[in-house]
A and B are shown apart, each in its own frame.
Chain A
Amino acid sequence: DAGITQSPRHKVTETGTPVTLRCHQTENHRYMYWYRQDPGHGLRLIHYSYGVKDTDKGEVSDGYSVSRSKTEDFLLTLESATSSQTSVYFCAISETIREQFFGPGTRLTVL
């Protein structure tokens, strides 16, 4: 299995609070991604990174920001959490624009 960890694995927070999710990889892969999974939608891309300090938006990026200061870490920040951001968040990595491998996920509940 690809070495990907996500923290925290579960989080409950209140509307309006900032939240940061962390993805850490030990594979030295160039690309990293954040997806969210919601019922009836499969997984959808939020943001991705193609190198240190190089990031771009995905299809559902509103309300989220990301940072990548080291190859191994990719952070997803919800500046002011809303109930619509209650979801399961998955991080993924890939060495090339080919096969992606997913982390274990973070379940976020915004009350």
Chain B
Amino acid sequence: GIQVEQSPPDLILQEGANSTLRCNFSDSVNNLQWFHQNPWGQLINLFYIPSGTKQNGRLSATTVATERYSLLYISSSQTTDSGVYFCAVGPLTGANNLFFGTGTRLTVIP
């Protein structure tokens, strides 16, 4: 399967700070999603972004498929942003599977 590496593994921010989370993947993909897992365990879809750039409020994401990486930007962080952020990718061929990274745990302190 596709290897997915996320960095950093842990991140602690002061409220109001900005951050960049990175996702590297080992093969070409036709699907890339970013999720936020909140403290209650719910997986919330942030972006479906196999290529290009998208923005949604304080969050934005960029995927450079040719270089096999994606970035998630969080601006003006809030305590409600705390949780684990997962990157997941789907292969070009074969099963319609998502391969997940091990996540970035973000803690935003007031």
* Chain B residues within 8 Å of A98, by CB: 31, 48
* Chain B residues within 8 Å of A31, by CB: 96
Q: How many chain A residues have a CB neighbour from B under 8 Å?
A: 27
Could you write out 5 A-B pairs with CB less than 8 Å apart? A42-B86, A43-B88, A97-B90, A97-B96, A105-B41
Measured in the bound complex, the distance between the Cα atoms of B98 and A101 in whole Å is 11
A-B contact count (CB 8 A): 58
Measured in the bound complex, the distance between the Cα atoms of B88 and A33 in whole Å is 14
Q: A97-B30, A98-B48, A99-B33 are in contact. Are A48 and B102 (CB under 8 A)?
A: no
Chain A interfacial positions (CB closer than 8 Å to B) = 31, 33, 35, 40-45, 48, 50, 56, 58-59, 88, 90, 92, 94, 97-102, 104-105, 107
Interface of B is mostly: strand
Interface of A is mostly: strand
For this complex, into which size category does the number of interface residues on chain B fall? Answer: 20 to 34
Measured in the bound complex, the distance between the Cα atoms of B102 and A44 in whole Å is 10
Q: 7 extra interchain contacts, Cβ-Cβ under 8 A, other than A41-B102, A43-B88, A59-B1? A: A42-B100, A45-B98, A48-B97, A56-B95, A88-B41, A90-B43, A105-B43
